[in-house]
């Protein structure tokens, strides 16, 4: 079972990298945008992390999981999603 999971992970990782390279060629972007998160800019408040950009959950994952609907995900991930 672990070997099977490792193979699947390797396949997904390879496809993800290929997709990222295609996106880079088309748009110049260096990474794929996250599906269920948005980048939150620094808020200017005081504190140890106030000057850092952070990702914020925008919702949708639990609903997609409950319905088994992974259409928001890239095709290679959709094929491997089993709930």
Residue 83 — very low, low, confident or very high, per pLDDT cuts 50/70/90?
A: very low
Domain boundaries, the chain: 7-78
Residue 24 has pLDDT above 70, yes or no: yes
What number of H helices and E strands is found in the chain? 3, 2
Cut 0.75: pTM above it? no
Residue 20 — very low, low, confident or very high, per pLDDT cuts 50/70/90?
A: confident
Token pair 């992390």 in the structure block, residue = 49
DSSP the chain: -HHHHHHHHHHHHHHHHHHHHHHHHHH--SSPPPSSEEEEPP---SSTTTTS-EEEE-S-HHHHHHHT--TTS-HHHHTT---
């Amino acid at each position: 079972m672990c070997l099977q999971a490792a193979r699947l992970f390797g396949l997904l990782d390879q496809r993800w990298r290929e997709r990222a390279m295609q996106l880079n060629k088309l748009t110049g972007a260096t990474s794929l945008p996250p599906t269920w998160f948005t980048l939150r800019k620094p808020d200017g408040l005081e504190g140890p992390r106030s000057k850092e950009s952070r990702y914020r959950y925008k919702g949708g994952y639990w609903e997609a999981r409950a319905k088994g609907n992974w259409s928001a995900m890239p095709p290679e991930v959709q094929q491997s999603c089993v709930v």
